C-alpha cells in the first residue's frame, strides 16, 4: 500500500506537475489530507477573511499512475474515507448564493462523533465525501476550480463505494485529492461544507476509452459531471453529452434519445459556489449498462 502524507500537496492541477509517489493499476493508495482551509481555522474567532488564501484547497499528491496515458481514462474506486473529529463551516459577505445578505464573516466549528456531525442542537448524519479530486490538466488550474480534469467538483456522490473516472491529459494522470467534507448538501450554498481533515483510501486502474468530463459511478447509475462559469451552459453541455450516450447505448435516433432523456435522465446540481459551477446528469444503468463514451 502506498501512503501519501498530507505535507505533500499541491494548489494547482497543471501541465508541469511533479509526482510524489508512483502506483500501478490495481494498487491501493492512501492520501492523508488537510482540510480545505489548510488547517488555518481552529476556533470560531478565526474567520475566512483572516486566513492566507495561498494555503486554501491543498490537494495531496500527485501520484503518477503507470499506464495512465494521455487520451485514456483513470479509474479511481473510493474504498474508504476517514475524517477527524472537528469540522469547520465558514461564510462571509459576498460568499455563496446569498452572499449579499451576510453582514460579517462567520465560522462554526462542528464536533464529529460516531456517525453524526453536531451543528448546535442539531445532529446531522455523517456522510464523508471528497471535494477536490483530479488529474493534471493542460492549463494551470487552481485546485479550487473544477474542470474537465476534475478538481473542486464538490460532489457529494464522490464517497465511499463510488468510482470516479477521469480523462487523462498527461501521461501518468497525476492524481491528487483533498478537501474532505463530513457532510455537504447539493449546492453548497453558503460557500463551504463541513470542512475536515482526514484520509482517503482508493484503488486505481486504467481504462482504454476516452472521456470528455469526469464520471461518477454508484450502484445504480452513472453521473456525468460538467463545470462551467455559467450554470446554463454547464447544463446544456451535460444534457447534450448524456443524450449522445443514451443514443449509442440504446441504438436509437437522436430525437428518440432526447425524448428518452426527458423520461429517465435527471439533471442535478453538485455545487453553485466555486469559480465554475458543477452540474451532473444521472444516467440509470438500466438505460446505460456500461460507460460508453
* Positions in the binding site for Ca ion (CB under 5 A): 131, 152, 154, 179
Minimum Å gap between C-beta 122 and Ca ion is 22
d(CA 216, CA 139): 23
Q: Which is nearer to Ca ion, 17 or 37 (CB)?
A: 37
Angle ∠(8,10,36) on CA atoms, nearest 5: 95
Assess contact for 77 and 163: CB atoms under 8 A: yes
Assess contact for 129 and 32: CB atoms under 8 A: no
Q: Residue 176: helix, strand or coil by DSSP?
A: strand
Helix axes 231-250, 254-264, angle to 10 degrees: 110
Minimum Å gap between C-beta 48 and Ca ion is 13
Minimum Å gap between C-beta 8 and Ca ion is 20
Which one-letter DSSP state was computed for residue 245? Answer: H
Q: Which is nearer to Ca ion, 25 or 275 (CB)?
A: 275
d(CA 286, CA 204): 26
Distance spanning both ends of the chain, measured CA to CA: 31
Grid cell digits, residue 17: 506537475
Minimum Å gap between C-beta 143 and Ca ion is 9
Which one-letter DSSP state was computed for residue 147? Answer: B
With CB atoms as reference, the residue minimizing the distance to Ca ion is 131
Q: Which is nearer to Ca ion, 61 or 131 (CB)?
A: 131
Minimum Å gap between C-beta 244 and Ca ion is 29
Minimum Å gap between C-beta 38 and Ca ion is 12
d(CA 249, CA 257): 10
Q: Which is nearer to Ca ion, 191 or 265 (CB)?
A: 191
Assess contact for 150 and 169: CB atoms under 8 A: no
Q: Give the chain's largest Cα–Cα span.
A: 59
Q: Which is nearer to Ca ion, 168 or 177 (CB)?
A: 177
Minimum Å gap between C-beta 56 and Ca ion is 9
Scan for cell 451532473, then name that residue: 280
Q: Which is nearer to Ca ion, 37 or 281 (CB)?
A: 37
Minimum Å gap between C-beta 154 and Ca ion is 4
CA 230 to chain centre: 18
Angle ∠(169,175,179) on CA atoms, nearest 5: 120
Assess contact for 95 and 273: CB atoms under 8 A: yes
Q: Which is nearer to Ca ion, 154 or 237 (CB)?
A: 154
Q: Which is nearer to Ca ion, 131 or 172 (CB)?
A: 131
Amino acid at each position: 500500500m502506498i501512503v501519501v502524507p498530507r505535507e505533500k500537496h499541491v494548489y494547482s492541477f497543471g501541465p508541469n506537475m511533479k509526482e510524489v509517489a508512483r502506483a500501478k493499476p490495481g494498487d491501493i493508495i492512501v492520501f492523508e489530507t488537510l482540510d480545505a482551509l489548510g488547517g488555518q481555522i481552529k476556533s470560531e474567532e478565526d474567520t475566512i477573511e483572516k486566513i492566507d488564501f495561498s494555503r486554501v484547497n491543498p490537494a495531496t499528491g500527485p501520484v503518477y499512475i503507470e499506464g495512465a496515458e494521455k487520451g485514456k481514462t483513470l479509474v479511481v474506486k473510493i474504498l474508504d474515507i476517514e475524517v477527524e473529529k472537528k469540522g469547520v463551516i465558514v461564510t462571509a459577505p459576498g460568499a455563496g448564493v446569498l452572499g449579499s445578505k451576510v453582514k460579517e464573516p462567520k465560522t462554526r466549528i462542528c464536533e464529529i462523533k460516531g456517525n453524526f456531525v453536531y451543528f448546535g442542537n442539531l445532529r446531522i448524519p455523517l456522510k464523508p465525501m471528497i471535494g477536490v479530486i483530479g488529474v493534471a490538466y493542460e492549463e494551470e488550474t487552481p485546485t479550487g476550480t473544477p474542470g474537465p480534469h476534475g478538481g473542486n467538483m464538490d460532489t457529494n456522490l464522490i464517497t465511499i463505494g463510488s468510482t470516479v473516472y477521469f480523462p487523462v491529459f498527461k501521461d501518468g494522470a497525476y492524481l491528487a485529492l483533498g478537501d474532505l467534507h463530513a457532510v455537504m448538501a447539493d449546492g453548497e450554498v453558503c460557500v463551504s461544507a463541513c470542512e475536515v481533515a482526514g484520509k482517503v483510501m482508493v484503488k486505481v486502474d486504467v481504462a482504454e476509452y476516452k472521456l470528455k468530463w469526469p464520471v461518477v459511478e454508484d450502484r445504480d447509475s452513472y453521473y456525468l459531471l460538467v463545470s462551467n462559469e455559467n450554470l446554463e451552459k454547464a447544463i446544456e453541455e451535460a444534457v447534450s453529452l448524456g443524450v449522445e450516450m443514451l443514443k449509442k447505448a440504446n441504438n436509437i435516433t437522436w430525437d428518440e434519445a432526447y425524448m428518452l432523456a426527458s423520461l429517465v435522465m435527471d439533471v442535478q446540481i453538485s455545487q453553485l459556489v466555486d469559480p465554475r459551477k458543477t452540474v451532473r446528469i444521472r444516467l440509470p444503468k438500466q438505460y446505460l449498462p456500461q460507460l460508453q463514451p
